[in-house]
Amino acid sequence: MSDKPYIGGQAVIEGVMMRGPTCMSVAVRRPDGSIVVDEGPLEPKFGSLSKLPLARGVLMLVESLSLGMRALNFSARHAFPDEEQGSESSGKLTALLSIVVALAFFIALPQGLATGLGKLFDLDLGLSDAGFHALTGAFKLAVFLAYLFFVRRIPEMRRVFQYHGAEHKTIHAYEAGLPLTLENVKAQTTLHPRCGTTFLVVVILVSIILGSLVTPLVLPHAEGLVGQVQVLALRVGLLPVIAAVSYEFQRFSARYCTRGPLRVLLWPGFLFQKITTIEPDDDQIEIAIAALDAARWRESVGKDAPAPAEAPLFFPDFAGFRAALPSLRG
């Protein structure tokens, strides 16, 4: 892997986004079976800060969310070309509402459930106690698990989870140095140590530890409704720190824990990935290969390669994409 550019990915609607160190590509299967590909260079936004431990985790998360939304919007336009798309302002409002709902669902709700359970069984748990934060963390994992099982049952989300599996399989084949053929990609596992699902599991576990350590120092006498609000605000305020520590842990585990006894550190994330990844079909694998091929091409030619006369690029099928790839910008 040392002689190859690092490439990560994300499943989108009827497609896959792949991102290299200096580029991004998105491939989407259109309703008529054709393939649309959009690729291009990425300009570095944060300079040397993006290499600074801890700070890079927060910056990478912000950039990944931005690029992910861009890829999702692109995929929605081409997966559902006949449906009216919302304006840019409505998209930003939707993203903001999604963040608010996520904070309520995955932070406020588990804290409320832990408080309610403590009162129901008359548990002596103060808001600053480690036991309270462990119980809150257990409810976070339970809520997250229930959410994943629920969305997995939605047909459209099952297809996204299949594309998620195709993305992982294709990256595994690439990292193993194998030719990106259907046979080679299909032979790979759908589980990957750098998965976003694993990152979210790590975030929950880190939040338990940091919450237990920081809350007694910052809010040693928190109690009642005011205390609940203070602890909730502290949890939200700690999110950048939690994200930074989680990123560094995942970076370490993906590099050093893929073999040997330390592999046990990857198991919690892999268990959750068994929900968020599903075995893809051949058409979905083709899309993942197309996205990675486009990203590899851009990485090889650099940002100064000629721009396309028209963007994005349309191909009748995967064979047409592969045939055009050598002269993608000819």
Model confidence at 311, in pLDDT bands (50, 70, 90)?
Answer: confident
Which strand ranges, in their side-by-side order, compose the sheet holding 313-315? 8-12, 15-19, 23-29, 35-41, 313-315
pLDDT-derived band at 92 (thresholds 50, 70, 90) equals confident
* pLDDT of 148 above 90: yes
Q: What is the pLDDT averaged over residues 132-159?
A: 96
- pLDDT of 309 above 60: no
157: left (phi > 0), else alpha (psi -120 to 50), else beta?
alpha
Name every residue whose Cβ is closer than 8 Å to that of residue 171 and which is 6 or more positions away in sequence: 7, 8, 9, 192, 292
Tell me whether the omega of the peptide bond preceding residue 312 falls within 30 degrees of 0, making it cis: yes
pLDDT for position 260: 87
Reported confidence tier of residue 87, pLDDT bands at 50, 70, 90: low
Lowest mean pLDDT among 40-49, 159-168, 207-216: 40-49
Is-contact 107 203, C-beta < 8 A?
no
Q: How deeply is 277 buried, as exposed, middle or buried, from its count of CB atoms within 10 A (0-12, 13-18, 19+)?
A: buried
- How confident is residue 91, by pLDDT bands cut at 50, 70 and 90? low
pLDDT above 80 for 55: yes
Q: Mean pLDDT throughout 121-138?
A: 92
Terminal CA-CA length for the chain: 29
| Cβ pair 317, 34 in contact under 8 A | yes
Q: Which of 34-38, 126-130, 286-290 has the lowest mean pLDDT?
A: 126-130
Residue 330 has pLDDT above 50, yes or no: no
The residue behind tokens 């009748």 is 316
224: left (phi over 0), alpha (psi -120 to 50) or beta: left
Tell me the residue type at 247.
Answer: Y
Over residues 106-113, mean pLDDT:
95
Cα 23 from Cα 40, distance rounded (Å): 6
Nearest of 137, 177, 167 to residue 273 by alpha carbon: 167
- Put simply, whether the predicted model's pTM sits higher than 0.85 gets the answer yes
Task: Give the DSSP H or E segment for 79.
Answer: helix 55-79
Q: Is the pLDDT of residue 327 over 90?
A: no
Residue linked to tokens 């548990």: 123
pLDDT score of 205 more than 50: yes
Across the range 58-87, mean pLDDT stands at 88
At 138, the pLDDT band (50, 70, 90 cuts) reads very high
Task: Please tell me the predicted confidence (pLDDT) of residue 259.
Answer: 86
pLDDT classification of 307: cutoffs 50, 70, 90: low
Q: Identify the pLDDT of residue 243.
A: 95
For tokens 């939690």, the residue is 242
Which pLDDT value is given to residue 171? 97
Distance CA 236, CA 139 (A): 17
b/e burial code for range 38-69 (CB count within 10 A of at least 16 → b): bbbbeeeeeeeeeeeeebbbbbbbebeeebbe
pLDDT digit string, tens, across residues 177-192: 999 999 999 999 999 9
Report the percent of the chain where pLDDT is more than 90: 74
pLDDT in tens, 231-241: 999 999 999 99
Average pLDDT, the chain: 91
- Comparing 193 with 3, the larger pLDDT belongs to 193
54 Ramachandran zone, left/alpha/beta (phi>0; psi -120 to 50): left
Q: Is the pLDDT of residue 150 over 70?
A: yes
Measured in residues, the chain has a length of 330
Determine the average pLDDT of the residues in 139-158: 96
